[in-house]
Amino acid sequence: MIEPLSGTDIKIIRELEGDMPLAADPYGLIAGRIGCSRAEVLQRLKSMKRQGFLRRIGAVLHHRQTGYTANGMLVCRVEEERIDQAGTALAAMERVSHCYRRRTHPGWPYNLYGMIHGKTRPAVGKTARQFVEAFDISDYKILYSTEEIKKTSMVFFSHKQW
């Protein structure tokens, strides 16, 4: 049975929508800020996960701060019968943080997308070429980021939204 989220649950969610405290016990700090125990925070997170409200809590690397300032979205047109294999290979590449399959549109035939991070544009281009050459892909583009407008960590919810 799905229990409704409590006021404390919502406070925990709000805390986790921002950056996690950089501390030995971030859950203890969160507990102190919202007025409950560390054990209660962890119990409530487990309950939210079990009920399907919470999928995961994950780290977000601020890659620009670590020197990876060249970022390009590789967009490719891949034959339907090869897209699963190609997508799995692209997603497994060390410099790829996001990989998506998308529908095509008139004038935009690209159905496989991967965000590649590098310290320079030539490094991003090299990673992209390694991938497209391995899969004999001739129709692709690299869309380079020019400005990071928003990058935050967040709590992910399933279809069982509150």
**Residue-wise pLDDT tens digits, 38-55:** 999 999 999 998 988 887
Examine the pLDDT at 59 and tell me if it is beyond 70: no
Q: Which of 71, 76, 70, 72 is nearest to 113 (CA)?
A: 76
Alpha-carbon dihedral of residues 105, 108, 110, 115, nearest 10 degrees? -110
Q: Residue 159 — pLDDT band, cuts 50, 70, 90?
A: very low
A 10 A CB-CB count for 112 gives: 24
Q: Which of 146, 139, 87 is nearest to 113 (CA)?
A: 87
Correct CATH for 63-144 of 3.10.129.10, 1.10.580.10, 3.30.70.3460, 3.40.1210.10 = 3.30.70.3460
